[in-house]
Structure 1
Amino acid sequence: MKRRLFAAMLLWCCTAAALAQGDAGVMPEPANPALPSLVLIGDSTVRNGRDDGQGKGAEGQWGWGNPLARYFDASKVNVVNRAIGGLSSRTYLTGGHWERTLQFIKAGDVVLIQFGHNDSSAVNDSSRARGTIKGVGEESQDIDNLLTGKPETVHSYGWYLRHYIAAIKARGASAVICSPVPRKAWDADGKIVRNRDSYGGWAEQVARQQQVGFIDLNGQVAAQYDALGRDGVMRLFPQVTPDEHTHTNMAGAELNARTVVAGLKSLRMPLPLSALNASGQAIPALEDERPVVEAARVAAEKPRDAALPTLFLVGDSTVKSGGVNGAVGWGERIGPFFDAEKINVVNHAIGGRSSRTFYTEGRWGRVLDQLKQGDVVAIQFGHNDGGRIGDPAMKGRASGKGVGPETVEDVRPDGTREQVHTFGWYMAKYVADARSRGRR
């Protein structure tokens, strides 16, 4: 009996410790220490569990740190996700995780910090003991930690953020504070609940006081959720656990990651932006090396149900990649946001096309042939329109700059001549053609 009681107590203690400190498995380290690193610290909304979706694929729980790595070129920058589920700004420090992470941080690195989801927990209990004092002040509380059995001085949420910032600056690296991503919760007006008056606002306050970068993930993601509507937001969280309100599925993690990338670009951090891959909208090289997807490799799409209205997508590889180098266009992920019983989504985009070549190759004409009353066409070009008209390096896709009526004559490889219009002319042509058929 005593042995069974001892075993049960030991199991309880181990379980409590695992819950308190997070079970993240083997933590990643910089793949190439000679390169600059983007280091992430935070909770499960940044790195969930063992970062494997619990074996449930895209519908498992994922932190935004996982898809964030895809936006960067591993040959130019390390993306090191050291976040651990279940931790707060306090327990990431007291559990020794920060000390182990800090040894990898060097001059020129950027460290993203996102805590807050777990900081509102109890300051002292026998299960997790991870709460922090609310606010950004210098007040503290001395406790005998019921979980660790040791005395501890607990500080405010802002104090812990300042502690991380000071250590990062001392290493010659740059800190960026992120406010915690919003939960799946709506207020009385049907809007996503913000935490501007608590951890979101406190995170920004610390960033401003310490003069470090700040990304308002809470506010920016909430605004996107509001635009998507309740049904759209529901699809960003695991369908297998409909009551889950904090942890997103992969689709939600990708939305959050894109918001982080946009924030990093706007902050102009000392992280080589040339490291961003096509998904991160890198500035192209002087020699236009972007691939032109062969039309034969892209399956022709038609409306699934001709009786329903259709949303047609027209654009380049950022809308539909055709699988080149494993890239995915946003149009290839937009389908789940629409009710397939009420509308078709047909993606006519093709990699490597500009507003000019999508028109001259006859692809726009094939879209027009499918249009009917009630349809909508979404058009996005621009990534491949740059460069000098007539330069062979541009692969015949450069359009004229601006939106005016002027033209430039170009000689094709076969000797024929083409009057090349401006980017705005081609875009206006698409709009006029659709409107002439009573479409939007």
Structure 2
Amino acid sequence: MKQILQTLILLLFHLAALAQPFTASTDPARAQVTLPDPANPSLPSLILIGDSTVRNGQDDGQGKGPEGQWGWGNPIAAYFDPAKLNVVNRAVGGLSSRTYITSGHWQRTLALVKAGDVVVMQFGHNDASAINDTSRARGTIRGTGDETEEIDNLLTKQRETVHSYGWYLRKFVADIRAKGATPVICSPIPRKRWDERGKALRNAADYAGWAKEVARGEHVGFIDLNELAARRYDEIGRDAVMKLFPVATPDETVHTNWAGAEINARLVVGGIKALGIPVLVGALNERGKAVPAAEDERPVVDATAVKVEQAANAALPTLHLVGDSTVKSGGRSGDMSGPIGWGERIAPYFDASRVNVVNHAIGGRSSRTFLTEGRWAKVLEQLKAGDVVLIQFGHNDGGRIGDPAMKGRASGAGTGPETVEDKKPDGTVEQVHTFGWYMARYVQEARAKGATVVLLSPVPHRDAWQQGRDFATFASWDREVAQRHGALFADLTLAIADAYRRIGAAAVDAQFADARTHTNDVGARFNAERVVATLKGLPTNPIGAWLSPQGRDVAPAQP
């Protein structure tokens, strides 16, 4: 009888522990939380691990509705089709990258991971805590190194080897890969704080930067949620940001309400689309498909508002530049850290007394929209015999025709004559051609004017030059069109990637204004020189007679 009574008392104790709400004062290493399993084990899963900014408490807003505290892992499920993908939010509030492992939560979660799944991790907010104390003991060593610290854990009473923040992220990556799944690292959301310029405070110098470093070193997908959310905060202004956090607790700087969680979820979806992971992109529902990819958060500039550039001296030949934002960004004037295209920094390589340099490129354009918006017609009006036209498209040509996220820019794959109907919101129908069809039209019409055409493959992405090659299909299509229609082809993608390898990843990262696509002033100048070197390396060197002393000093690129 006594034994039965003891058993009942112990059972009641455990039930009370399970019923106890998880609060900030609860020992996170012993947190009793009920985490979801995949709803349909036969489907692939998107599994989320992290802290309270991903899954807050019992994931119920503390019973306060939209004004409670919510992590972005809850609203993100609404962007996916549950018939195609499980979204499994197994983040735990109060945990760090270290204590998610030492508490046993990672072992239990890893048991659910199978080949074909994707695991997104976001830690950092709690990693800055004390490494050893009697309340949390959850901190990690700052940075990404291999250093360790031996402690007698005051909370668990156990001997423990504590590693760096980066070490724990690398362990997650290795464990996920061992299961045949795909790891993705997400930088932590920014706090509701501002710097001395009034901009949302970033964490590029610590946890967001370290997360990026690990992702780059391990060659895994990276979503810079810290930067993406901070950029969004800057766009909407401080007053609007305040409304993204619980109004009842104005001192709350970390945990968003439902509106803030929804914004962060949408940004993560944009990051997923930018990474292009097939199992996730293929499972997006209509709401998810409408989210723009993270690299394309900037609105498409109205072409009618962009000045048509003209040659300074009509008596001289002209070097015409045609392309997208990587050629002419239309970025913030005077901000050298903002997005700048290589076409905006190429003029010093040419002698203005011998040639005009006219940059017709517009940000957000594809081979398709540069034609359909009438911009190419404006170029043709200026073309004359003896001119040279450089054409670089591809960054905005990908994606599915008709997908609202592509903003009416996607062209068809390949170089053939086939077309696809794209039904517009106003009821009209556009016959969309292949990428090669548009490029061939540019070549044929320019050559009919007596101009020389050079097709350039796109400049590489920030995260896609270290292994293999970026834009392989677009480069092959450009090459085919050039050979078939009498143009020159320059593999700018490989030329810049090879130059990136010579200067190293740290120097390359310093040349970008955003997470993936657009260069800053330093990067634009670097790429402009590579363009000149690549053109000089062509068999006919179409720009040789026009170079300034600075241009003549550039060594030709090896073909």
TM-score bracket relative to the smaller structure: 0.5 to 0.7
Once the 2 structures are TM-superposed, how far is the Cα of residue 282 of structure 1 from its aligned partner? Answer: 6.4
* Secondary structure of the corresponding residue to residue 252 of structure 1: helix
Q: Report the CA distance shift for 1:113/1:203 in structure 2 as closer, same or farther (over 3 A).
A: same
Structure 2 alignment gaps of length 5 or more: 1-12, 292-401, 409-419, 433-559
Once the 2 structures are TM-superposed, how far is the Cα of residue 268 of structure 1 from its aligned partner? Answer: 1.1
Contact 2:290 2:403 in 1 (8 A): no
- Of 59, 62, 65, 2:73 maps to 65
- Of 250, 271, 274, 1:266 maps to 274
Partner of 2:168: 160
Partner of 2:429: 399
Partner of 2:255: 247
Code of the residue aligned with 1:196 in structure 2: it is A
Once the 2 structures are TM-superposed, how far is the Cα of residue 270 of structure 1 from its aligned partner? Answer: 3.6
Partner of 1:19: 27
Query: TM-score, structure 1 length as denominator?
Result: 0.62
Q: Deviations over 1:278-302 (max 9, x none)?
A: 111169xxxxxxxxxxxxxxxxxxx
Once the 2 structures are TM-superposed, how far is the Cα of residue 271 of structure 1 from its aligned partner? Answer: 1.7
Q: Which runs of 4+ in 1 moved over 6 A?
A: 14-17, 384-387
Q: Deviations over 1:82-110 (max 9, x none)?
A: 00000000000000000000000011100
Partner of 2:62: 54
* Secondary structure of the corresponding residue to residue 18 of structure 1: coil
In 2, the alpha carbon distance for the partners of 1:184 and 1:129 equals 25
In 2, the alpha carbon distance for the partners of 1:266 and 1:67 equals 19
* Secondary structure of the corresponding residue to residue 429 of structure 2: coil
- What is the percentage of aligned positions where both structures have the same residue? 60
Partner of 1:31: 39
Contact 1:24 1:85 in 2 (8 A): no
Q: Report the CA distance shift for 1:396/1:197 in structure 2 as closer, same or farther (over 3 A).
A: closer
* Secondary structure of the corresponding residue to residue 132 of structure 1: coil
Partner of 2:411: none
Partner of 1:196: 204
Number of positions where the alignment pairs a residue of Structure 1 with one of Structure 2 = 292
Partner of 2:231: 223
Partner of 2:466: none
In 1, the alpha carbon distance for the partners of 2:192 and 2:425 equals 46
Partner of 2:118: 110
* Secondary structure of the corresponding residue to residue 176 of structure 1: strand
- Does residue 185 of structure 1 match 2:193? yes
- Does residue 92 of structure 1 match 2:100? yes
Code of the residue aligned with 2:108 in structure 1: it is R
Code of the residue aligned with 1:399 in structure 2: it is V
Q: Deviations over 1:199-240 (max 9, x none)?
A: 000000000000000000001110000111100100111111
- Does residue 139 of structure 1 match 2:147? yes
Q: Report the CA distance shift for 1:86/1:170 in structure 2 as closer, same or farther (over 3 A).
A: same
Code of the residue aligned with 1:34 in structure 2: it is S
Query: TM-score, structure 2 length as denominator?
Result: 0.49
In 2, the alpha carbon distance for the partners of 1:15 and 1:229 equals 31
Once the 2 structures are TM-superposed, how far is the Cα of residue 177 of structure 1 from its aligned partner? Answer: 0.3
- Of 258, 265, 270, 1:257 maps to 265
Once the 2 structures are TM-superposed, how far is the Cα of residue 273 of structure 1 from its aligned partner? Answer: 2.0
In 2, the alpha carbon distance for the partners of 1:271 and 1:142 equals 41
Q: Report the CA distance shift for 1:75/1:145 in structure 2 as closer, same or farther (over 3 A).
A: same
Partner of 1:120: 128
RMSD of aligned residue pairs (Cα, Å): 2.8
- Of 88, 93, 101, 1:80 maps to 88
Once the 2 structures are TM-superposed, how far is the Cα of residue 277 of structure 1 from its aligned partner? Answer: 1.1
Rg (Cα) greater in structure: 2
Q: Report the CA distance shift for 1:401/1:23 in structure 2 as closer, same or farther (over 3 A).
A: farther
1:301-320 residue pairs with structure 2 within 5 A? none
Code of the residue aligned with 2:186 in structure 1: it is C
Q: Deviations over 1:225-265 (max 9, x none)?
A: 01111001001111111111000011100110011001111
Once the 2 structures are TM-superposed, how far is the Cα of residue 395 of structure 1 from its aligned partner? Answer: 11
